[in-house]
Structure 1
């Protein structure tokens, strides 16, 4: 695996294309296009349309909320005009603000769908746990000046692993038809002053991860015991649960697909955690019906 892949500038790519996108969500209302506020989707579509000289609409692997970042947002679109790999990547980046960047582009079969073919999604929440406020990291971590017990947070979080009704951790305005989600794993580790909550699941409810983090911080401060998350889960009532953690510490770091689609593997972000050395798809997915259903029979190009 390598970070430095040459971009082809001779062979035009057409048909359905998959693209890896990274962004700092601080200045945006989130991923989804809205009429009244700037969004990552609208900015990406504007840049793609300039390169294609025709309108382009993209579909993403998952939505992110206002202020949330992403290092591996996967999108797909049907190219209205053929352009080389280099033109799609460099041309789009030349038309984007500095807080959004295309990392790669690939041709994929017509039945690939960034959202509906995703087997899992993974997020990392980063807390800078030190007495003084952050400076260089201020836009992409959440600051907590009270000492946190990462071990207690990890133990409390294990009650959430598996398939559960996460009503206690969904936002009041969540539009999902069901509160049931399957959490593949959730881990809490300390790396010097950084406390990292690493969570993967089939999908997530609106504000679900940030609400989980808010409860875990109460455990880490010693205000609640190791059984706190289990108690909240059993209540199935958001009004009885804890605070919502700030958006700035949350990073969408991976969307996983069957290997047959041929999407590139990358180091998991954010770059602040590059020392951990983990790459996308590095862990086995659980044996569950949703994963098996979405694996299906991917068609390989060529």
Structure 2
């Protein structure tokens, strides 16, 4: 039995999230179907994490066990010919038996994109949230700085979270402009359900002057979802990269 790890990009617009669901189209189901067509095996892939309906990925990672003898370097092209056009396998390689795409992951980076133009960029409409009114980006960065480090992020996760605890470590968090786009990047050891989207919803309130940057410290300490802002729309969010302790 071989363990294959792969990196996949997908446009999440027409999907009901990454993980298989009883109803609706999912990335996991499409990839498993492609593997079935290729090898005849009924395989369940293991994703590095779930992405919600409408959320995209540039560098999602998954792994699976197979008895196939297909060379690792051939998996990407073989699967891509059997996948829909909104899913693309970027690369695949063989890993140790103990490798698990979620448990072995050490760092993940997400990006949330705001379109600050007077009119939305029609070619970026699937990947950004249009916010045409002015934002104080400097204040937003000041507020975001409070989230760097190890904290209990209960205030920034859904009340439906099933995690045993909400302590996570954020290594980097910053804003970057690209034309009329404003990207928020966050890198951490893990993220909670809706965490990035709730952070962005709160950051927008800071940018609008409805909250002060230092309010972020109070929100963190309060450990109560109602203290934070609304959950931002899913289509502005993208999983950029998943990092592991060493090349497997």
TM-score, with structure 1 as normaliser:
0.79
Aligned to 1:132: 119
Q: Show the 5 A alignment for 1:290-301.
A: none
Question: Is 1:105 matched with 2:84?
Answer: no
Question: Is 1:28 matched with 2:15?
Answer: yes
Question: Is 1:207 matched with 2:194?
Answer: yes
Name the CA shift for 1:134/1:260 in 2 (closer, same or farther; >3 Å).
closer
Q: Show the 5 A alignment for 1:195-274.
A: 195-261=182-248
- Is the CA contact 1:33–1:40 (under 8 Å) kept in the aligned structure 2? yes
- Structure 1: unaligned runs, 5 residues or longer: 1-13, 262-302
Task: After superposition, give the CA deviation of every residue in 1:162-190 in whole Å (9 maximum; x if it has no partner).
Answer: 11111111112111111111111111122
- Structure 2: unaligned runs, 5 residues or longer: none
Instruction: Give 1:79 shift.
Output: 1.6
Question: Is 1:184 matched with 2:171?
Answer: yes
Instruction: Give 1:191 shift.
Output: 2.7
Name the CA shift for 1:87/1:190 in 2 (closer, same or farther; >3 Å).
closer
Relative contact order (C-alpha < 8 Å, sep 6+): which is higher? 2
- Is the CA contact 1:69–1:250 (under 8 Å) kept in the aligned structure 2? yes
| Aligned counterparts of 2:154 and 2:145: Cα–Cα separation in 1 | 17
- Is the CA contact 2:4–2:72 (under 8 Å) kept in the aligned structure 1? no
Aligned to 2:160: 173
Instruction: Give 1:260 shift.
Output: 3.9
- Is the CA contact 1:130–1:147 (under 8 Å) kept in the aligned structure 2? no
Question: Is 1:123 matched with 2:117?
Answer: no
Instruction: Give 1:86 shift.
Output: 5.2
| Aligned counterparts of 1:78 and 1:178: Cα–Cα separation in 2 | 30
